[in-house]
Amino acid sequence: MTSSTETRPRHPAPDFAQQDTRFARAFDVLRDGIARHAFPGAAVAITHQGRLVALKGLGRFTYEPESPAVQPETIYDLASVTKAVATTTMAMILYERGQFDLDAPLITALPEFAGDDSRRQQVTFRMLLAHSSGLPAYERLFEKATGYAQMLPAILAVPLTNNPGTQVEYSDIGFLLLALAMTQITRWGFGSLCAYEIFRPLGMLQTTFRPHPKLRSAVPPTEKSPRFPGTIIQGEVNDENARAMGSEDPGHAGLFAPAEDVARFAECMLAGGRPILRPETVALFTRRQDSPPGTSRTLGWDTPSPPSQSGQYFSPRSFGHLGYTGTSLWIDPERRLSVTLLTNRTWPDRKSQLIKEVRPRFHDAVVECLEGRT
């Protein structure tokens, strides 16, 4: 594997000295969310027209008053934002190199996936990226498998619930398979591959699948474990299937990063993929798919579809992704705007859904602050 980088990345120029005045209404939306226990804290990064116009930490790690305050550089569990930042981007890089044919069947890389259902031979990489493979959204694989040796056959054997290409069902299983396939194609471990090809070239120096144990206390906890009373999940991936993968890094969740690193990635996308991708590849992967009819999905991303978590203002060309722990990234090429919002809305448990009200209000307020809307 050789690096695809040709030039050094252009980091968004810092321009957030006046952020507390400029984005006062947007930050107030987040403070209100904290007061209502939508999440105990948040880290925000906003880029606009090539500049980093906001980088802010609000609230605390937990709701306890003695809990550490969230800083702009606080690292969060990105959850399913991993699908976009890591897995989809790696698929784009391999696609450019001719190693990843979108319409090739998955069984070309993972022949064991074929099983005894003839429909499985029809599942393509494109379908996996577009969430139209026929695979289910989720399976509690961790209840019957622990460690990579057990998880691998369990993932490969997950049965289809729909005919391939006929329906959209957002699927963690599909992205687990994508990472496994790319590992087979490149003969690299998935986490090492992403670090070499994406994170290091873009200067995402704090982004990792595995925070060092000494740094775990500096990561906001995601929840009190429902399976192991008295255990707090902090500095390790919240997703149970991801944890069950053992030493292997999964493709559906598991990435940790600060808001500024995510913003650097967003600026790469807004710059047409430079320096790791070509503009035509970014355009291909971020364009809404025509099939199945009515889908809002691109190849690895979602697009605004009312009511959208991106709010009411993001353009139809926008693309984004959400993470279960309360993270999100939305990118609007027409405005040259990206908004990174990282929270731990799952603390102390997963019950609260208030972020679904707060997040679109926050995105609306960001655009209104930038464009002088009232």
Contacts of 45 (CB under 8 A, 6+ apart): 52, 54, 55, 56, 72, 259, 260, 262, 263, 338, 339, 340
- pLDDT tens series, the chain, 374 aa: 544 445 677 799 999 999 999 999 999 999 999 999 999 999 999 999 999 999 999 999 999 999 999 999 999 999 999 999 999 999 999 999 999 999 999 999 999 999 999 999 999 999 999 999 999 999 999 999 999 999 999 999 999 999 999 999 999 999 999 999 999 999 999 999 999 999 999 999 999 999 999 999 999 999 999 888 889 999 999 999 999 999 899 999 999 999 999 999 999 999 999 999 999 999 999 999 999 999 999 999 999 999 999 999 999 999 999 999 999 999 999 999 999 999 999 999 999 999 999 999 999 999 999 999 87
In contact, 271 and 282? CB cutoff 8 Å: no
- Which of 238, 265, 266 lies closest to 254, judged by CA? 238
Pairing of strands 51-59, 13-14: parallel
Q: Distance between CA atoms of 359 and 289, rounded to whole angstroms? A: 25
Alpha helices in the chain (DSSP H): 19-22, 24-35, 81-82, 89-96, 125-129, 148-156, 172-186, 190-194, 240-244, 259-270, 279-286, 355-371
Strand pairing of 319-323 and 232-233?
unpaired
C-alpha dist (Å) from residue 53 to 84, 319, 322, 335:
23, 20, 22, 14
Give the integer Cα–Cα distance in Å for 82 and 225: 22
Sequence letter at residue 352: S
DSSP string, 280-321: HHHHHHHSPP-SSTT--B-SS-B---SS-TT-S-S-TT-EEE
Contact indicator for 44, 55 with CB cutoff of 8 Å: yes
Structure tokens at 332: 């609007």
In this structure, what token pair is assigned to residue 298? 């691109």
Reported pTM: 0.96
Could you please report the per-residue DSSP string of 263-282? HHHHHHHHTTTTTTS-HHHH
What does the buried/exposed string (b/e) look like for 118-142 if buried means 16 or more CB atoms within 10 Å of the residue's CB? eebebbbbbbbbbbbbbbbeebebb
Q: Report d(CA 92, CA 354) in Å as an integer.
A: 34
Give the HSE-up count for residue 3: Cα atoms under 13 Å, Cβ half-sphere.
Answer: 14
Taking a C-beta distance cutoff of 8 angstroms, is the pair 13, 51 a contact? yes
Tell me if the bond preceding 201 is cis, omega within 30° of 0. Answer: no
Taking phi first (over 0 means left), then psi (-120 to 50 degrees means alpha), and beta for anything else, what does residue 59 get? left
Q: Environment class of residue 108 by beta-carbon count within 10 Å: exposed (0-12), middle (13-18) or buried (19+)?
A: middle
Backbone angles phi, psi at 75, to 5 degrees: -95, 135
